[in-house]
Amino acid sequence: MYKKKYPVIIFEGIEASGKSTNINNFSKFLKKNKYQFIKIREPGGTKFSEKLRKIMLSKSNKLDKKTDLLLILASRSENVSKIIYKNYQKKIILIDRFSDSTIAYQHYGMGLNLNIIKNLNSYIIGKFKPDLTFLCTVNNKNMNNRLKIRSNNNRYDNFKINFYNKVQKGFLKLSKNKKKYVLLDSNNSTPAENLNRIIKEFKKIAK
Ligand code: TMP
């Protein structure tokens, strides 16, 4: 397998899947071991993209799903041109959600056209490809329990369980039979075990 000094690593997964814990723990590991890295989230990233995130996730904005799609893509476009390409091969890039989230949420969850999403993603992202994606997963029982006790902070925390189910199935479909995807289970593995797995997979692709 090829190794890169500065790989691009994505963390994906639905709400309550342990994504934030995993990416935060891995960031701490990189920092402690003095790796050069940046971390961004989507939607969000650049100053402008963070403004778009606020608009998109605000509970007071009842936006159409196509508007959501366009806001997410606008945020991504800014990140790709202003942050990602600038740091590509100069620092490790960690991204909390990327193009797969758009396919999983906007297509598998909300039913928007898959080809339109794929084409727009490619148009924005260009030739750049992530090196590794960690897909964080949760079973239905834990998803139910965790979502019940989560504070409904934003618009996307308020969907029914069935929606998150569809989104997670979409993520799993995207990861199927692909070498660049690693599944992290939040039901039977502890955060420490998941961190060990992340480090092990990271070391396989990082010089
Ligand atoms: P976060 O809570 O993980 O930061 O993500 C914010 C929300 O944005 C999350 O509920 C999923 C949603 N989202 C999409 O629907 N499509 C996308 O492409 C991205 C990046 C996020």
**pLDDT score of 203:** 96
Ordered by where they begin, the domains of the chain are 8-205 (3.40.50.300)
* Of the candidates 6, 10, 41, 3, the residue with the CA atom closest to the CA atom of residue 178: 10
* Of the candidates 191, 102, 184, the residue with the CA atom closest to the CA atom of residue 135: 184
* Of the candidates 176, 94, 84, 168, the residue with the CA atom closest to the CA atom of residue 128: 84
Instruction: Give the number of other Cβ atoms within 10 Å of residue 131's Cβ.
Output: 19
Residues with CB under 6 A from ligand 1: 15, 41-43, 72, 97, 101-102, 105-106, 156
User: Which residues of the chain have a pLDDT value below 70?
Assistant: 1
What is the rounded CA–CA span in Å between residue 154 and residue 59?
Answer: 6
**pLDDT score of 1:** 64
Q: Which two tokens stand for residue 62?
A: 């009842």
Instruction: Give the number of other Cβ atoms within 10 Å of residue 175's Cβ.
Output: 18
Q: What is the pLDDT of residues 7-20, one digit of tens each?
A: 999 999 999 999 99
Q: Which two tokens stand for residue 12?
A: 């994906």
**pLDDT score of 189:** 94
Q: Which of 17, 69, 156 to mutate to test the pocket of ligand 1 (most atoms within 8 A of CB)?
A: 156
For the CA of 19, the nearest atom of ligand 1:
3
Handedness of CA 159, 175, 18, 29 (dihedral sign): negative
Handedness of CA 171, 174, 176, 180 (dihedral sign): negative
Burial class (CB in 10 A: 0-12, 13-18, 19+), 37: middle
For the CA of 43, the nearest atom of ligand 1:
20
Q: What is the pLDDT of residues 153-196, one digit of tens each?
A: 788 888 888 999 999 999 999 999 999 999 999 999 999 999 99
Residues in a beta bridge with 183? 135
Residues contacting residue 58 through CB under 8 Å, at least 6 positions apart = 154, 155
Alpha helices in 36-160 (DSSP H): 47-57, 65-79, 85-87, 99-101, 114-125, 140-149
Cα 97 to ligand 1 centre (Å): 7
CB 94 within 8 A of CB 9: yes
**pLDDT score of 202:** 97
